[in-house]
Amino acid sequence: MQKQVKAAPTVVYPESDGKPMAESDRHRKLMVDFILMLEDHFKDVNDVYISGNLLMYYEEGNIYKSVFPDVFVVFGVSKKDRRTYRTWEEGHTPDFVLEVASPSTYNKDITDKKELYASVLGVREYYIYDPYGEVYPHFQGYRLVDGVYEAIEFVAGRLSSVVLGLELGERDGILSLYDTSRSGWISPPKERITDAETRASQAEARAENAEAELAKALAALKRLQEKTDDN
Per-residue pLDDT tens over the stretch 10-55: 677 766 655 555 578 899 999 999 999 999 999 999 999 999 989 9
Give the mean pLDDT of 102-127.
97
Q: Is residue 149 part of a domain?
A: yes
Neighbours of 24 (CB within 10 A): 13
Q: Is residue 218 part of a domain?
A: no
For the cut 70, the answer to whether the pLDDT of residue 67 exceeds it is yes
- pLDDT at res. 190: 76
DSSP E strands: which ranges in 14-92?
48-51, 56-57, 66-67, 71-75, 85-86
- pLDDT at res. 149: 98
- pLDDT at res. 24: 86
CATH number at residue 203: 3.90.1570
For the cut 50, the answer to whether the pLDDT of residue 7 exceeds it is no
Strand order in the sheet with 56-57: 66-67, 56-57, 85-86
List of long-range contacts for 75-80, beta carbons under 8 Å, 24+ apart: 75/47, 75/48, 75/163, 76/47, 76/48, 77/47, 77/48, 77/49, 78/46, 78/47, 78/49, 79/46, 79/48, 79/49, 79/50, 80/49
Q: How many residues does the chain have?
A: 231
Bridge-based pairing of strands 139-145 and 125-129 is antiparallel
Q: Is residue 223 part of a domain?
A: no
* 189: confidence class by pLDDT, cuts 50, 70, 90: confident
Q: Which residue has the higher pLDDT, 114 or 218?
A: 114
Q: In this structure, which amino acid lies at residue 8?
A: A
Q: Which residue has the higher pLDDT, 74 or 194?
A: 74
CA distances from 22 to 13, 19, 68, 131 (A): 22, 8, 11, 12
56 forms bridges with which residues in the sheet? 67, 85
- pLDDT at res. 8: 47
Q: Is residue 164 part of a domain?
A: yes
Percent of the chain with pLDDT over 70: 74
CA distance 210 to 99: 22
Report how far Cα 207 is from the mean position of its chain's Cα atoms. Answer: 16
**137-174, pLDDT tens digit by residue?**
999 999 999 999 999 999 999 999 999 999 999 999 99
Structural domain count, the chain: 1
Residue 59 belongs to domain spanning: 25-210
CA distance 106 to 94: 20
Q: Is residue 228 part of a domain?
A: no
CA distance 190 to 25: 18
- pLDDT at res. 20: 53
Q: Which of 31-35, 96-100, 131-135, 202-206 has the lowest mean pLDDT?
A: 202-206
Decide: 15 and 55 in contact? Cβ < 8 Å.
yes
Q: Is residue 231 part of a domain?
A: no
CA distance 1 to 181: 73
Q: Is residue 79 part of a domain?
A: yes
Q: Is residue 63 part of a domain?
A: yes
